[in-house]
Amino acid sequence: MTEVSEILMSVLSTIRVPRPGDSVHKDECAFSFSSPESEGGLYVCMNSFLGFGSKYVERHHAKTGQRAYLHITRTRKTQKEDENNSGSGDPPKKKPTRLAIGIEGGFDVEQEQYEEEVKVVLFPDRQEVTSEDLASMPDVVRERVSLSMAGLQAADSVSHILQVQQWDGEVRQESKYAAELKQLDNGVKIPPSGWKCEVCDLQENLWMNLTDGKVFCGRKYFDGSGGNNHALLYYQQSGYPLAVKLGTITPDGADVYSYDEDDMVLDSKLPEHLSHFGIDMMTMEKTERTITELEIAVNQRVGEWEVIQESGSTLRPLWGPGLTGMKNLGNSCYLNSVMQVLFTIPDFQTKYVSNIDKVFNEAPSDPTQDFKAQVAKLGYGLLSGEYSKPAPDPGDDPSTSTEPRGDQLGIAPRMFKALVGRGHPEFSTNRQQDAQEFLLHFINMVERNCRSGMNPSEAFRFLVEEKIVCQQSQKAKYTQRVDYIVQLPVPMDQATNMEELQEAERRREEADSSGAPPPAAPRAQIPFAACFAALSEPETLTDFWSSAVQAKTTATKTTRFASFPDHLVIQIKKFTFGLDWVPKKLDVSIDVPDTLDLSALHAMGQQPGEELLPEVAPPPLMTPDVEVKAPVLDDSTVSQLCEMGFPLEACRKAVYYTGNTGIDAAMNWVMGHMEDPDFSAPLVLPGSSSAPGTTPTESLPEEHLATIVSMGFSRDQATRALRATNNVLERAVDWIFSHLDDLESMDVSEGGRSEGGSETSREPPPGPRVRDGPGKYELFAFISHMGTSTMCGHYVCHIKKDQQWVIFNDQKVCASEKPPKDLGYLYFYRRVVE
C-alpha cells in the first residue's frame, strides 16, 4: 500500500458522499470571491462541502484538521471564430425572443464553456490523487473516494440553486373566454394591412377586438408614448374582453390580451376567431414587436438610460482598490449600489475590512452563514482591488487579449445576498427592491450583530426632537426618537417652472380630448431649499388631544435635529400615490447642493419659562363597560383599508387612533405611519399590558423564548416582544431591535429588578448612543433610480473618490463626466470638520 493510499485510508471516515439536502459550495470560496476559474482553483472540503480558495484552504485545514479536499479548476474555452460563424460547432448567439432566463429563446445565464479538471488533494503536503490513481488503490478507498468525487461533481452548487435558472416572465394562461367567445356576425372583414384606430387614426400599436372586429389603439405608456387608450375605453363601454394586437399575427400565434383578466393570455381558438373576420393566420407576417419583445428591449436597454448613466459621454473605465464592480444577480442593482456606498464610509471599513483576519478566525464552522464573515468578505472584495480587472471578452483568447474592456471581472455577492435576504419576503427574491428599504434592512442587521463592540451603523444614527405646542394653553410637549435617514418631501407647488408645467398640462388635456399624441412633458424644477423647508416648517395638527385642556384642539409640531450624525443620508420622497392610490414617481429635478449647513436646525430643548403639557394619557376609545377590552371600531372602514392591501392590525390602529372619523382620516394615518417599525403589530389599548389575542407568559413558546434569550436579551424582554407580535418569532426579533430604547429600561438579568433596589434609587436608563458634532456636511455619494417605481427599473450610484466623481453601474466602474446630482434618490453627506 502506497503512502497516499495509507493517508486516504486513515481519513476515510471524514470523506462523505453528498446526500440530498446537503449544501455544496463548489462555485465560490467561503472567505473570498475565488472560484474554480480563479488562479489556483477552488478546494472543496470533502467533509463539510465548503469551498476555499488557495489563500484560505490552509486556514481551514489548520482549524479543522480536515485533510481531503476536491480541487476543482476550470479553464475557459477560447472562441476564436466569429460569433456568427458556426464553424466552431456551436450555434451563433441568438438575441432573446422570450422574456425568460435559462430556457430556449430566453436570456442566457452565465454558462460559458469550460474545461474542468478535478483531483483530490491531501493536506498539509498537498499530495494529489487523480481518478486514475484511485484505480490501483484498495477497493474500500477507491469506492468511497470515487463516490464522493462523483457526488460533488454531480451536486448542484448552492449558488446554482439560489440563482433563478428558469424564470419565465412570459408564461400565459388560457383565457376563460377563449373556448366560448361570442363573435358578432356583422360582416366586418379586416384587410391584411393599412389598419388605423377608428377614433384617432393612429397607425401603430393597434388592437382588434375579437368579438366585433373593431380596431383601436393600445394603452398610453408612462412616458406619454404608445396609444391613446381607445381599445381599453371601448372594452369599458362594450364589455367585449379579448383583443389581438395587429402586426403580431403569425402562423405561430399572436399577442392576445384579456381586459377582464387584465393580462396577456392564450387563445387556443385564435385561428378560428381570426378567420371570422377574414384573417388567414397562416399567411400573416409580423410587422410590429410583440409585448414580450418590447419588454425585452427595455431589459436590454437597462445599461443605456441616458442621463443618469451618462450614456451620452464616452466614459473612461477605472481599475484598482476601491473601484471594483459588482455583478447583477438579477435585479440586485439596489444592493450593489447601497453596498458600494457603505464601504466608502470609514466605520464600515474599520469594522469589517481592517479586522478581516480577526473576523475570519472567529467565524463559526460554516462561515457562509456568518453575517460578519460575509460582510467582511464583501468589503475586502470591493476595497482590495484584487477583482478590479477587465473582464475577458468571451470571444477572445485570454492569453492574447490586451485591450481593456468597460466591464470588470468584478465580484458576484451571491453568498452575501442569500444571507442578508434569508427569511425576508422581498430581499430573498430576485425582484427589484427599494434601495432605501434595503439600506434600513441592512442597518438593522448590523445593529443585531453589533450589540457588543464597534457598531458602524452609529455613523448614521441621530436623534430627532419633536416639539408640539398646544395652541390653546401654549404648553409644550417634547419627544425624541432615533432615526437613520432624513426623508425630504417634494413640494410640487414650489416648482420654479410652474408656468411651463401648467402649459404642458393644458396641451396634454387638449391632446387627450382630440385624440392626438400627447406632447413631451417637462421635468419639474424644485429648489432643494423648498424641500427642506417643507420638512422643517411647523406643521398644524387640527385634532390634537391636549392634556392641559382635556380636549381636542389645534397644535403645532416642529421637527429639529437633537444631534447631527457623522454621515447624513437624505431620501428624496419621489415615490407617492395618485388620487386613485396607484403608486407613481415624481419626475423632478432638484438642485441638491454639494455642501449643507444645518446648524440652524439644531433642537433647542425646553425654553426658559416654557411650561410642559401634563403627562396624562388621552381617554381610551372604549365601551362604557371597563371590563371589555376590545376597541369599538368601524368595521366598514377597517374593511376598506384592508381591501387596499394594508395589514389588518395596521387598519385597526388607523381607525382606532383617528377616533372612527372616516376613511380619509384613517388613510392619512396609514400613510403617515407606514414606516413605523410596529406598523403591523397588534393594537395595544391604553392601560392594557398585551395585545388582543396574546397569551399569558406561561403559554408563550418556550423555544421562541430560548432563541431570543440566547441573543443576549432577558426573558422579560423576550416575553414582551413575543406578546407584541402574537408569538411570531421572526416578527418578535424585528420588534425587539426596533424597540431597544424602550427595552433599555428593563433589567438585562432574567430576575428583573433586584430586591434591594427601589424604583426611586435606580439611575435613569442610558439613551441610545449617538454621535454629535457640527451640522456642516459635504456630498460624497448619491444613488439614482431609473424607472416608474421602486419595484422596477435600475439603480446606479456615484461616489466621490479623491475629488473625482465615479459612476458604479454594476460591473462598470468609470470616471463620471456629468454626475446627475439633480436626479438622485438617496444622497450621502459626511461631516465637514473645520
Q: Catalytic residues, which ones? A: 333, 794
Please state, in angstroms and rounded to a whole number, the distance separating the CA atoms of residues 121 and 128.
5
DSSP SS3 for 524:
strand
Which of these, 269, 249, 267, lies nearest to 258 by C-alpha position?
267
Class of residue 153 by CB neighbours under 10 A (exposed 0-12, middle 13-18, buried 19+): middle
The answer to whether 685 and 631 are in contact (CB under 8 A) is yes
Which of these, 465, 477, 458, lies nearest to 768 by C-alpha position?
458
Other Cβ atoms closer than 10 A to 395: 13
Other Cβ atoms closer than 10 A to 627: 5
The grid cell for 227 is 396609444
Please state, in angstroms and rounded to a whole number, the distance separating the CA atoms of residues 93 and 86.
10
Cα 357 to Cα 81, 87, 363, 491: the distances in Å are: 45, 50, 10, 49
Beta strands 824-831 and 804-809, pairing class: unpaired
Please state, in angstroms and rounded to a whole number, the distance separating the CA atoms of residues 541 and 554.
6
Task: Locate the DSSP E strands across 13-141.
Answer: 42-45, 51-53, 68-76, 114-122, 127-129
Class of residue 646 by CB neighbours under 10 A (exposed 0-12, middle 13-18, buried 19+): buried
The grid cell for 478 is 417634547
The answer to whether 118 and 128 are in contact (CB under 8 A) is no
Please state, in angstroms and rounded to a whole number, the distance separating the CA atoms of residues 427 and 334.
10
Q: For residue 208, list its beta bridge partners.
A: 215, 244
The residue written with cell numbers 409644550 in the block is 476
The grid cell for 151 is 457526488
Instruction: State which H helix or E strand residue 559 sits in.
Output: strand 551-561
Is residue 299 left, alpha or beta, with left meaning phi > 0 and alpha meaning psi from -120 to 50?
alpha
Please state, in angstroms and rounded to a whole number, the distance separating the CA atoms of residues 680 and 646.
9
Which of these, 26, 17, 18, lies nearest to 116 by C-alpha position?
26
Q: What are the backbone angles phi and psi of residue 55, rounded to the nearest 5°?
A: -75, -25
Q: For residue 830, list its beta bridge partners.
A: 567, 778
The grid cell for 165 is 435558472
Q: For residue 797, list its beta bridge partners.
A: 783, 808
Beta strands 583-585 and 114-122, pairing class: unpaired
The residue written with cell numbers 385624440 in the block is 515
Dihedral (C-alpha) 654, 656, 658, 659: value to the nearest 10 degrees? Answer: 160
Which of these, 534, 372, 398, 574, lies nearest to 454 by C-alpha position?
372
Please state, in angstroms and rounded to a whole number, the distance separating the CA atoms of residues 670 and 107.
40
- Angle formed at CA 350 by CA 349 and CA 356, multiple of 5 degrees: 85
Q: What are the DSSP calls for 479-505, one per residue? A: EEEEES-EEE---GGG-TTHHHHHHHH
